[in-house]
Amino acid sequence: MIKIAARLLAAVLLCAGSFSPALAQPTIEHPVKVTTCDPRQNAVAYGPAWTPAYYPYAGNPWYWNDVYGYRYWQPSYVQNNPTLGIDYTNQTSKVMKQIEFGLIANGNLVAEVRDVGTFSPGIEIKHEFGISPNVFPLQTGLPHCVPLRITFEDGTHWRNPHLPGHPRRQMYATPPPQ
């Protein structure tokens, strides 16, 4: 009986030693490595050295058709309004010209932001974006940002093959009057 228990224990330990959490969940390789994703209900003048991201019309929201096919609006960056700070690096060998990120909280897509510029391989970018007040409260301690769609300088595109679940309806609300 003791020998059987010892063999059973050895088999369990052998199996446990070969188990890897990394194997249990597939690793998703993205062309962009996000190192910081920091949503803030009210932007303040401390923290990482983020700079406001590009906006085509200063002081106005920015509209585009998102990766889900909906018309999305991104409020412009205004200090003391809700913001999303993202630090990221282009992990490819090609220059990126446009990147759309999704903010995931509690397993749901709650906001999107778009960055436009020249994003060279291996260079860390630290940008801050305006986001809707509808994002808050997040009700989670672990928000994260994922790339949704990328346009490269050579005209090629990348779309995340594992898009986050259905976006929250509040994401597409009409912007408040300014």
Q: Is residue 12 part of a domain?
A: no
Q: Is residue 21 part of a domain?
A: no
Task: Indicate whether 124 pLDDT > 50.
Answer: yes
- Considering only CA atoms, which of 101, 97, 75 is closest in space to residue 88? 101
Predicted TM-score (pTM) of the model is 0.75
Q: Are 85 and 126 in contact (CB under 8 A)?
A: yes
The predicted-structure confidence for 50-105, as pLDDT tens digits, reads as follows: 788 877 766 566 788 888 888 888 887 777 789 999 999 999 999 999 999 999 98
Q: Is residue 124 part of a domain?
A: yes
Q: Is residue 37 part of a domain?
A: yes
The predicted-structure confidence for 132-165, as pLDDT tens digits, reads as follows: 888 888 876 689 999 999 999 999 999 999 887 7
What contacts 29, CB < 8 A, 6 or more positions away? none
Considering its fold, how many domains does the chain have in total?
Answer: 1
Q: Is residue 11 part of a domain?
A: no
- Considering only CA atoms, which of 117, 100, 99 is closest in space to residue 167? 100
Q: Is residue 5 part of a domain?
A: no
Residue-range definition of the domain harbouring residue 61: 28-172
User: How many CB atoms are located within 10 Å of the residue 76 CB?
Assistant: 18
At 143, which amino acid appears? P
Q: Is residue 152 part of a domain?
A: yes
pLDDT band at 118 (very low <50, low <70, confident <90, very high): very high
* Burial of 81: CB neighbours in 10 Å, binned 0-12, 13-18, 19+: middle
